[in-house]
A and B are shown apart, each in its own frame.
Chain A
Amino acid sequence: MKNFTKYAALALLTAIVFSTLIGCRPAVRVPDKPEKLVVWEVAEQAESARKLAALFTAKYGIPVEVVEVANLEQRNQLTLDGPAGIAADVVTWPHDQIGPAVLAGVIQPISEWLARGVKDEFLKPALDALTFDGQLYGLPKAIETSALVYNKALVANPPTTWGELLSLAEQHTNRADNRFGFLFDYRNFYFVHGIFAGMGGYVFKFADGKFDTADIGMNNAGAVAAMGLIKELVDKKLIPIATDYGQMDDQFVQGRTAMIVNGPWSIANYRARGIDVGVAVLPKLPNGRNQASFSGVKGWYVSAFTKHPYWATKLIEFMTSKTSLESRFADTGEIPPRADIQITDPIAAGFLAQAEFAVPMPNVPELGPVWGAIGAAIEVVARDGVSAQQALDDAVKHIKDAIAEMK
């Protein structure tokens, strides 16, 4: 008992000493420099990353190795290689995989290591996209969203309102020739989210940097109205039921379709195939509001397994600085999510203009069942004539059940 008192007193003393020490320690203690840092980047953009990495090495004297790993492979590979100690320090993937990655415990929050003021330099929606449960997990390097992609040879002035879209679509449609004026992958929630959200629907309520997955707004009046708009396109035979991404892409490449909805990744191919491509903001909806398309943000994140979180964060900071992202934009054409970079290229500017109205895809894993459920709802409304309200109610019930099963 005597011993216990002695140890208790010692422990208390130690605690007091340490708390005073913590109170006056410098804001960030700079740890020792690692021998080298490893970054995973997709093959197409590895060249640009190597360029930036070389500049980082020149500045800090830390060698950086850029390893090519496909976007969708990285999370899996980190889950496997991380515990084995052979994974990268810095990884990258689209932001909607952040939730699953955090739940799996493979990436870590970086706010602790960030320099002051860095956060203010990025577009807020892009940072929101990289925030999960109120914690920031990386810095954004690119933002993308779907916009109206049109063939300038067929359409001189892109439509700005829903009414204009309908009449232009009708004008360029020749059913006898199997030609349609406006096509899009209408059963893919990624491409129709703009209509749903613009009309007042929402996937999960977003407040205070968190998604309330219990509050689903995909069967409210706005969502039902949005479904009505899609149904109208199908009923008027402006969009054939069989339309999917592949067919839309094919028709546009052949120059048979004037307008489609697609993302920045598709443009290079269209240009290569000789289409004079224009990109415009998606037409305003009948309620006068802009379409709130889904945006995807790609960021760099710090592996939870790294031994050098401080220097990994510094590397990310460096690679997303104004000059770095300008160089990256010049090399890769991916749109940098920084307010201080001026974009003059008309294609990128078109997507950036739509990005202003876009909302980031929820990065919570509960989004998983939403894709299939909403896609199925659109399909049965268009195909079987089920009422919009009925189909969306069923879909929301399905999503809620599926989320409940996840817990």
Chain B
Amino acid sequence: MQSSLNHRSRASFLSALFMGLGQIYNGQWIKGAILTGVHLSFLAVEFGSRLIEPLNSQLGLRGRSIIGHALWSITTLGERPGVRGDHSLFLLIDALIVLTVLAVFLLVYIGNVLDAWHTGKRRDQGLRIVGFKQNMTDLYEKGFAYLLLAPGTGMMLFFVVMPLLFSISIAFTNYSLHNAPPARLVSWVGFENFLSIWRIEAWRNSFVHVFGWTVAWTIFSTLSTFFLGLFLAVLLNHPRLKFRRFFRTFLILPWAIPGFISILVLRGLFNDQWGHVNQMLAAVGIAQIPWFNSIFWSRALILIVNLWLGFPWFMILCTGVLQSIPVEVYEAAEVDGASDFQQFWRITLPLVLYAVGPLLIMSFAHNFNNFNAVYLLTGGGPAVPGLRAAGGTDILITWVFKVAFDELFRYNYAAAISLVIFVIVAIISIWNFRRTRQFQEEDMIS
């Protein structure tokens, strides 16, 4: 019985050779048959498709196997331009789909090898082999969460990850209105787009201009809404306040109205010439403010409007936090002779920041990409001559939209800039999650 110690190596070797063989060797017949079936159907699709005529021509295989075709597609992006030739974008998407499915298949394959190894190990240890029925029960009982997550994950793969991969790919091609299928083929250009945006003066100026304002906008818009929200929450939490519920409801209203609508209304209210804001200011003797026709004032305008739209969110959050601070803390502070001001800075603010911190950082990420506030209000204007499709209030995300769809139709540049945005937001988010974990480990109230 010396060889029985080697069941795990033999089973995993067999499963690595062909899916399901290891399971059959272990005596798990049904599981083994299913896995073998999966492998067989994979091989049938991979090599059989080109033999079936409508499939072969419809997929444009031209005698290649499916994976072979995907690799050819993604490396060449097509060889014959024209209406009846290769369509680079379709080839790219098809290849991404095939490679995604292949990745899923490989994961299953690895799982199959590991499973054979584990079962083999049980045999080596002289434990009982679990039957198929028991497998299913285990899956249902222990892996129920995974069962529920599986469809969603699958959808994510194809509706989120795939488009993401596609747009990342576009950033490394020369795809623009002037170089688009079916008339022309798209090809890979490496980091050319990123370099061009940096090398060509007008593009560099545009990027620096837009990026600078995006950062300033992100900081000011988030902090302004946070502090106004906190301020109002403190007021609402004041023990001597009457009609608290009324005020709270009242102050949430700006948040209850869809931003899309209030922005368009505010756009009319702030019109330099006919808007009510300037007319009211004129009534008290203040000269017309060029809300939409000066870079400074239009920037101020979107900050003001965003403040209006955004403060209720932080107000509600802070109210919740404030209510959870024990009254005894303040009573103790008062006994120690702390002023109201000191109480706020030393007790309220740190405790609120402790709780709201992670959300504050997510809010930075949100405002970094706050398309509506800018695009619906000023459309990125006022104009700044000499920039590529960028205006005085454009942030990166609105600039991307204008580069791709409004004016220049440089899909490749837009994708490249999007990738930069993606990296920045990803860094903020990752940092945020790590911080959140730190928060959990620390104990602030001790």
Among the listed B82, B294, B407, which residue makes an inter-chain contact with A105, where contact means beta carbons less than 8 Å apart? B82
The reply to whether A105 and B273 contact each other, CB–CB distance below 8 Å, is no
| Chain A residues whose CB sits within 8 angstroms of the CB of B361 once the complex forms | none
Q: How far is the CB of B278 from chain A (nearest CB, A)?
A: 9
CA distance A391 to B90 in the complex (A): 43
Contacts of A104 in B (CB 8 A): 177, 180-183
Once bound together, how far apart are the Cα atoms of A151 and B132, in whole Å?
84
Q: A241-B290, A365-B177, A383-B293 are in contact. Are A105 and B272 (CB under 8 A)?
A: no
Q: Which residues of A contact B407 (CB under 8 A)?
A: 368-369, 371-372
CB distance from A192 to the nearest CB of B (A): 14
CB distance from A142 to the nearest CB of B (A): 25
- Whether the pair A394, B273 counts as a contact (CB closer than 8 A) is no
Considering only residues 357-404 of chain A, those with a C-beta below 8 Å from chain B are: 365, 368-369, 371-373, 375-377, 379-380, 383, 391, 394-395, 398, 401-402
- Identify the closest chain A residue to B182 (Cβ): A105
Question: Using Cβ atoms and an 8 Å threshold, which residues of chain B touch A30?
Answer: none
The listed residue (B176, B383, B408) touching A380 by CB distance below 8 A is B383
Judged by a CB distance under 8 angstroms, whether B388 is at the interface is yes
- Report the Cα distance A405→B177, complex, angstroms: 12
Is A83 in contact with chain B by the CB < 8 A criterion?
A: yes
Specify which chain A residues have a CB less than 8 angstroms from the CB of B273 in the assembled complex: 178, 240-243, 247
Quick one: which of B304-363 are within 8 Å of A by CB?
Answer: none
Contact of A83 among B81, B90, B202, B279 (CB under 8 A): B90
Interface presence of A140 (CB below 8 A) = no
How far does the Cβ of B62 sit from chain A's closest Cβ, in whole Å? 16
A82 CA to B83 CA in the complex, in Å? Answer: 8
CB within 8 Å of A: which of B179-224? 180-184, 200, 202
Contacts of A250 in B (CB 8 A): 274
Bound complex: CA of A369 vs CA of B177, how far in Å? Answer: 13
A407 at interface by CB-CB < 8 Å: yes
| Least CB distance, A82 to chain B, in whole angstroms | 7
Separation in Å of the A154 CB from the closest CB of chain B? Answer: 18
B171 to chain A, nearest CB (A): 17
B285-312 with Cβ < 8 A to chain A:
290, 292-294
Choose among A105, A247, A368, A373 the residue that contacts B274 (Cβ–Cβ < 8 A). Answer: A247
Q: Shortest CB–CB separation between residue B381 and chain A, in angstroms?
A: 8
The answer to the question of A321 belonging to the interface, with a C-beta cut-off of 8 Å to chain B, is no
Known: A104-B183, A369-B407, A369-B408. A398 touches B386 (CB 8 A): yes
Cβ-based interface call for A304 (8 A): yes
| A103: chain B residues within 8 A (beta carbon) | 177-178, 180, 183
Q: How far is the CB of A99 from chain B (nearest CB, A)?
A: 10
Chain B contact residue count (CB 8 A cutoff): 34
Cβ distance A368 to chain B, nearest Cβ, rounded Å: 6
Cα(A407)–Cα(B202), bound, Å:
16
Closest to B201 in A: A401
Q: Is the CB of B200 within 8 A of A405?
A: yes
A379 touches B182 (CB 8 A): no
Cα of A103 to Cα of B175 in the assembled complex, Å: 13
B184 surroundings in chain A (CB, below 8 A) = 105
Residues of B within 8 A of A369 (CB): 407-408
**A242 x B271 contact (CB < 8 A):** yes
Q: Which of A150-205 contact B (CB under 8 A)?
A: 178, 187
Shortest Cβ distance from residue A285 to the other chain B in the assembled complex, whole angstroms? 25
Contacts of A251 in B (CB 8 A): 274
The yes or no answer to A207 lying at the interface (CB within 8 A) is no
Residues of A within 8 A of B20 (CB): none
| B409 beta carbon closer than 8 Å to chain A | yes
B382 within 8 A of A: yes
Residues 360-414 (chain B) with a chain A CB within 8 angstroms? 382-386, 388-389, 407-409
Q: Which residues of A contact B181 (CB under 8 A)?
A: 79, 83, 104-105
Residue A106 is within 8 A (CB to CB) of chain B in the complex: yes
- Whether A376 pairs with B385 at a CB distance below 8 angstroms is yes
Choose one: B178, B182, B382, B384; the contact of A365 (CB below 8 Å).
B178
0/1 interface trace, chain B 160-181, chain A, CB 8 Å (1 if under): 0000000000000000111011
Q: Does A63 contact B (CB under 8 A)?
A: no
Q: Tell me which residues across on chain B come within 8 A of A368, comparing CB atoms.
A: 177, 407-409
6 A-B contacts (beta carbon < 8 Å): A103-B178, A103-B183, A241-B273, A241-B290, A242-B271, A395-B385
Interface residues of A (CB under 8 A from B): 79, 82-83, 100, 102-106, 178, 187, 240-243, 247, 250-251, 304-305, 365, 368-369, 371-373, 375-377, 379-380, 383, 391, 394-395, 398, 401-402, 405-407
Q: Could you list which residues of chain B lie within 8 angstroms of chain A, going by C-beta atoms?
A: 81-83, 87, 90, 176-178, 180-184, 200, 202, 271-274, 279, 290, 292-294, 382-386, 388-389, 407-409
In the A-B complex, the 4 residue pairs with the smallest Cβ-Cβ separation, listed nearest first, are: A105-B183, A242-B272, A376-B383, A240-B273
- Given contact pairs A83-B83, A304-B83, A376-B384, enumerate 14 new A-B contacts (beta carbons under 8 Å): A103-B178, A104-B181, A104-B182, A105-B182, A105-B183, A105-B184, A240-B272, A241-B273, A242-B292, A368-B408, A371-B407, A380-B383, A383-B294, A402-B408
